[in-house]
Amino acid sequence: MILHTIEDVREQIKNWKKEGLTIGLVPTMGALHAGHLSLIKKSVEKCDRTVVSVFVNPIQFCPGEDLDKYPRTLDADEKLCNDAGVNIVFAPSPKEMYGEGHILSNDFLTYVIPPYFYVDKLCGKSRVGHFDGVCTVVNKLFNIVQPDYAFFGQKDAQQLIIIKKMVKDLNIPVEIIPCPIVREENGLALSSRNKYLSEEDKKEAFVLSRILFNIKACYDKGITDVKALTETAYSFLNEHHNLEYLEFRDKENLEGKTVADKDTQVFIALKIGNVRLIDNILLG
């Protein structure tokens, strides 16, 4: 069943809560792919009822980003969800979520702002305000759906860490379930934005996972010096790759590491043409 209003979702949730059913939420921006489907499958297995939200959240896009051209495939998304056993696809309009003349300025909206230490690095450095938009919409979705469990992909690792922090700091009664990255055969992590890649670019895009898998292999052989591990990446890069960052950080609190250990997560962002791709790997 597809619902477009908060009121309709609330009505349904109220009935499920009365019946004592557990609720899983899979928040998405649509253009669903096998990565999303793995989250949905987990929710359907674990919870009595599953809600998938499909909402291209305008307030998490920075000026000049791809808000207008972000892929919107609601009919196909709805079908995939129905086939996967989802009970509600919640697909609100920006107006439904943010009111009349929906707001792209934080002057008129109550925002949830994650701590500066978590957002002044990695993707937050180039996407200023992005995580404010993510936390705000995820918080709203939690309030609307009141899920027992919410499922997020490890592909967006900084997002996942920030959401876990928000849930802890704000005592939100939901359990966050992290779900492993799903990859194409060549190692490319699945993402809705892969749709922007030409066939040629796609061949180049496996460089991210190549670099990460190689770093993990070196770590497994006993190399822990972050400088040395970073240097291993350069042999994989060519003129098609524009590296934005390659960083070694703690998997819980994003502290930088100079010596890698089992709690170290390696984060990479790289542009191929105009397409910005991210990936990560946990060393332990």
Catalytic (active-site) positions:
36
Asked if 154 contacts 181 with a C-beta cutoff of 8 angstroms, the reply is: yes
Stretch that binds ligand PAF, among 113-121, 134-142, 218-226, 257-265 (CB under 6 A): 134-142
Residue type, 185: E
Which segments within the chain are labelled E, that is strand?
2-3, 23-28, 49-54, 88-90, 149-153, 175-179, 241-250, 264-272, 275-282
The pairing of strands 88-90 and 149-153 is unpaired
Which of 24/27 has CB closer to ligand PAF? 27
* Count of chain residues binding ligand PAF (CB under 6 A): 10
Which of 58/214 has CB closer to ligand PAF? 58
Residue type, 262: K
Stretch that binds ligand PAF, among 21-29, 105-113, 181-189, 245-253 (CB under 6 A): 21-29
Q: Which of 9, 134, 150, 269 binds ligand PAF (CB under 6 A)?
A: 134
- Is residue 162 a contact point for ligand PAF (CB under 6 A)? no
Stretch that binds ligand PAF, among 15-23, 25-33, 61-69, 97-105 (CB under 6 A): 25-33
Asked if 204 contacts 240 with a C-beta cutoff of 8 angstroms, the reply is: yes
Which of 27/92 has CB closer to ligand PAF? 27
Which residues, including other chains, have CB under 8 Å from residue 16's CB and lie 6 or more apart?
A: 23, 48, 49
CA 130 to chain CA mean position, Å? 12
- Is residue 138 a contact point for ligand PAF (CB under 6 A)? yes
Q: Give the binding site for ligand PAF (CB under 6 A).
A: 27-29, 57, 60, 134, 137-138, 156, 159
